Homo-oligomer: A and B are copies of this chain.
Amino acid sequence: MTIPTPLTGVVPPVCTPLTPDREVDVPSLIRLVDHLVAGGVDALFVLGSTSEAAYLTDEQRRLVTETVVGHVAGQVPVLAGAIDMTTPRVLDHVRAVTAAGAQAVVATAPFYTGTHPAEIARHYRLLAAHSPVPVLAYDIPAAVHTKLPTDVVLELAADRVVVGLKDSSGDLAGFRAVVTGVRAVTDFTVLTGSELLIDAALAMGADGAVPGLSNVDPVGYVRLDRLCRAGDWDRARAEQERLCALFGMIGVGGARMGGTASAIGAFKAALRLRGVIACAATAEPQVPLSEDEVERVGKYLAAAGLS
């Protein structure tokens, strides 16, 4: 199975349910996959930031990919993150996730180490040369502290080095420069990672979205995507605003934990409250949500009509 080019629609970055002792909770993961596929999503993205890829051991990453690829059984394509610091280490993950059946890999710019546009381009060219499946670039400066330069993305797209971009930069003007700049590259996929600006991104010409919150409400995000494709912008805006309000849940942890712990903790708490996963534990060393904070997550669900 190969991914469509371009890949369109809603591609949830699949949360990784954990047991109370922080092992991958395979039955919950399978229920989550069913929940997403039943919600109408167009593909799945495992081992992304929302999947806590940064926290999963290599063995856990393998288990997640095999589980999801095996269970989804071709109903929708499965993309996998290959999140690591530099080319040689990312290539080891590319080998692992493709051996486990991923149909495309998603890789960031180098991080931890200092980098440079010439090195970023070289990084992707090496990844593409050695990957058995297509490579998408993942622009996530909040994590890697480097913004993928627009001209580098356009050069890699024109040369068919990368087949797509997942943009989690929050910089919609830069995103637009890619969307318009790759219009001649007809099979290039541009996905936004923002939960909050999907109507705007699709209106500009983006192909789809990778919203972490679609774990919680896949039906809502699929509805939003379809409204946008139908050009029904007023109803799309209303649906987007409902989802923006729901996204407020990511702040429940407040100042007593990191932003990731609060956001992922809220998504998992919501999934548990909705009966999809068995346990809302996040990986170490994240601070867990308190009962009060989980209760506030429940209120966000109720306000969005999801209780």
Of the candidates B112, B143, B180, the one whose C-beta lies within 8 Å of that of A143 is: B112
> Given A55-B88, A92-B58, does the pair A113, B258 have CB atoms closer than 8 Å?
yes
Q: Is A197 an interface residue (CB 8 A)?
A: yes
> Given A176-B197, A244-B177, does the pair A284, B203 have CB atoms closer than 8 Å?
no
Q: Which of A39-47, A117-125, A152-160, A291-299 lies at the binding interface?
A: A117-125
A74-95 near B? 1/0 per residue, CB < 8 Å: 0000000001011111001000
- Shortest Cβ distance from A127 into B: residue: B285
Q: Is A104 an interface residue (CB 8 A)?
A: no
Q: Is A260 an interface residue (CB 8 A)?
A: yes
Cβ B112 vs Cβ A111 within 8 A: yes
Q: Which of A63-71, A165-173, A272-280 lies at the binding interface?
A: A165-173
> Given A87-B284, A233-B233, A287-B122, does the pair A115, B258 have CB atoms closer than 8 Å?
yes
Which residues in B have their C-beta under 8 angstroms from that of A235? none
Of the candidates B86, B180, B231, the one whose C-beta lies within 8 Å of that of A284 is: B86
Of the candidates B92, B194, B258, B283, the one whose C-beta lies within 8 Å of that of A88 is: B283
Which residues in B have their C-beta under 8 angstroms from that of A241? 180
Of the candidates B126, B180, B259, the one whose C-beta lies within 8 Å of that of A244 is: B180
A225-236 near B? 1/0 per residue, CB < 8 Å: 000000101000
> Given A111-B111, A199-B203, A285-B123, does the pair A257, B118 have CB atoms closer than 8 Å?
yes
| Contacts of A249-279 to chain B: CB distance below 8 A | 256-261
Cβ A113 vs Cβ B284 within 8 A: no
Cβ A284 vs Cβ B88 within 8 A: yes
Cβ A171 vs Cβ B170 within 8 A: yes
Cβ A258 vs Cβ B119 within 8 A: yes
User: What is the CA–CA distance of A22 and B56 in the complex, to the nearest angstrom?
Assistant: 27
Residue of A87, A112, A115, A144 with most partner-chain B CB within 10 A: A112
Residue of A56, A142, A197 with most partner-chain B CB within 10 A: A197
List 24 A-B residue pairs with CB atoms under 8 Å apart, sorted by A's residue number: A49-B112, A54-B112, A55-B87, A55-B89, A55-B113, A57-B92, A111-B112, A113-B258, A113-B260, A114-B259, A115-B260, A116-B261, A116-B287, A119-B261, A119-B287, A122-B284, A123-B284, A126-B285, A170-B173, A172-B172, A176-B196, A176-B244, A203-B233, A233-B233
Given contacts A56-B88, A113-B258, 20 further A-B contacts (CB under 8 A): A22-B88, A54-B110, A54-B112, A55-B85, A55-B86, A57-B89, A57-B92, A83-B85, A110-B285, A116-B258, A118-B287, A119-B261, A120-B285, A122-B284, A123-B284, A170-B173, A172-B197, A173-B197, A200-B204, A203-B233
